[in-house]
């Protein structure tokens, strides 16, 4: 191990929160027929965004605009706040890293759900925070449990994804608003709304952008289909938003990504079309699950979590058997959630692969 690492870094495991489909393809020696494990939007971005990015390729010799000025202006108008309330960064993952860097140090407590999005945990550990995990309540994150744990541990951060990954469930806006009203003093709610653009209206709470104890994260990776462009943003009070300038990579946003996000945001008609296709895909996956004697959980996202009604060992076998047949899917990593598999929604051709492969994988898994 390098002699230059800090003691804290030496103690960390070399962790990759998600094994990429490219890695799996290299290991198995052939490409996937359907790439449905990463919750990307296989429908792709708006044609207007593609055109804008294509035109911008000739300008790629220029750095991205370090203030993200145009994108912040557009996002502020879209969310009815000021640009001072907006932080732009390299996807929600990159922004989660920055909020952990800004708020955590050894000895600081953080509360999250057991089995929730693991990249947040990765960043908490990287910056020395101490994680306290609250089990899910059924297929939902346990809001009351998170609040109770935050109070008992005097947590500085409370992480909640709504809609949820990996279960696809969501709490109604009223439940999130009640959570915000009861936040313990000294606790910041990290509200991950990566799937908000695809969620039902009743999942999106009304939270004042000036609220001193809330930071909301959004992304262009899901509904807008720009996962590879790495564009995320946060909505929070101006004081906290300004603090990101202390630690962010000021040239971290590429010019093509900025231009593509601007064009995608302006094309809300296309986003509406994607929502309709995602809704149809949820119904199709629900039928595929039922045809195989399984239960598709209600989803507010661009994926469907399917309960196999067995255990994690069986689900892992189904995952492996699906991959050997060219279908890339994923599953929750923690019991009892790991009785399920999770399949992203895509066009009909991709859903046809699921319909073909899933029964074969179930049979092969025993």
Q: Provide the b/e sequence for 228-254 (b: ≥16 CB within 10 Å).
A: ebbbbbbbbbeebbebbeeebeeebbb
Walk me through the domains of the chain, giving residue ranges and CATH numbers.
15-44+269-365 (3.90.1150.10), 55-266 (3.40.640.10)
| DSSP letter assigned to residue 21 | H
Average pLDDT per 10 consecutive residues for the chain, totaling 366 residues: 90 89 96 98 98 98 97 98 98 98 97 97 97 98 98 98 98 98 98 98 97 98 98 98 97 97 98 98 98 98 98 98 98 97 98 98 97
| DSSP letter assigned to residue 198 | G
Q: Model pTM?
A: 0.97
Helices and strands, number each (H, E), in the chain: 13, 12
The helix/strand/coil state of 262 is helix
Q: What is each CA distance from 83 to 76, 248, 266, in whole angstroms? A: 5, 17, 17
In whole angstroms, give the CA distance from residue 128 to residue 154.
Answer: 16
* Cβ proximity of 112 and 104 under 8 Å: no
**Cis before residue 25, ω within 30 degrees of 0?**
no
Instruction: Kindly tell me the sign of the dihedral angle through the C-alpha atoms of 18, 23, 29, 32.
Output: positive
At residue 54, the pLDDT reads: 98
In whole angstroms, give the CA distance from residue 137 to residue 361.
Answer: 29
Q: Report residue 262 as tokens.
A: 């601007």
Nearest to 236 by CA among 353, 81, 108, 351: 81
The helix/strand/coil state of 251 is coil
At residue 17, the pLDDT reads: 86
- What does 272-309 look like in DSSP terms, one character per residue? HHHHHHHHHHHHHHHHHHHHTT-EEPP-SSSEEEEE-S
At residue 1, the pLDDT reads: 73
At residue 16, the pLDDT reads: 83
Instruction: Kindly tell me the sign of the dihedral angle through the C-alpha atoms of 309, 312, 315, 321.
Output: negative
For the chain, the first-to-last Cα distance in angstroms comes to 43
Nearest to 266 by CA among 71, 123, 87: 71
Nearest to 36 by CA among 325, 289, 346: 346
At residue 15, the pLDDT reads: 84
């Amino acid at each position: 191990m390098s002699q230059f690492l800090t003691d804290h870094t030496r103690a960390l495991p070399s962790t990759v929160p998600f094994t990429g489909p490219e890695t799996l393809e290299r290991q198995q020696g052939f490409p996937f027929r359907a790439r449905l494990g990463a919750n990307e939007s296989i429908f792709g971005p708006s044609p207007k965004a593609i055109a804008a990015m294509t035109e911008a390729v000739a300008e790629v010799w220029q750095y991205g605009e370090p203030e993200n000025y145009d994108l912040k202006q557009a996002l502020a108008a879209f969310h009815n706040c000021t640009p001072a309330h907006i932080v732009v960064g390299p996807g929600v993952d990159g922004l989660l890293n920055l909020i952990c860097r800004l708020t955590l140090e050894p000895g600081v407590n953080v509360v999250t759900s057991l089995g929730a999005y693991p990249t947040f945990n990765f960043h908490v550990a990287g910056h020395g925070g101490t994680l306290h995990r609250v089990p899910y309540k059924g297929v939902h994150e346990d809001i009351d449990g998170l609040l109770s744990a935050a109070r008992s541990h005097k947590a500085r951060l409370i992480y909640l994804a709504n809609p949820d990954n990996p279960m696809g469930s969501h709490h109604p806006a009223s439940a999130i608003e009640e959570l915000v009203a009861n936040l313990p003093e000294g606790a910041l709610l990290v509200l991950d709304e990566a799937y908000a653009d695809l969620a039902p209206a009743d999942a999106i709470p009304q939270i004042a952008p000036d609220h001193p104890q809330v930071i909301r994260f959004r992304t262009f990776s899901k509904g807008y289909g720009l996962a590879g462009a790495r564009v995320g943003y946060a909505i929070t009070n101006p004081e906290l938003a300004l603090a990101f300038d202390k630690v962010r990579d000021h040239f971290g946003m590429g010019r093509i990504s900025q231009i593509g996000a601007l064009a995608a945001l302006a094309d809300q008609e296309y986003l509406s079309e994607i929502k309709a296709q995602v809704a149809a895909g949820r119904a199709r996956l629900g039928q595929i699950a039922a045809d195989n004697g399984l239960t598709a959980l209600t989803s507010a996202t661009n994926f469907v979590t399917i309960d196999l009604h067995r255990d994690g060992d069986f689900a892992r076998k189904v995952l492996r058997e699906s991959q050997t047949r060219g279908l890339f899917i994923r599953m929750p990593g923690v019991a009892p959630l790991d009785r399920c598999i999770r399949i992203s929604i895509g066009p009909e051709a991709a859903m046809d692969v699921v319909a073909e492969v899933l029964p074969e994988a179930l049979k092969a898994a025993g």
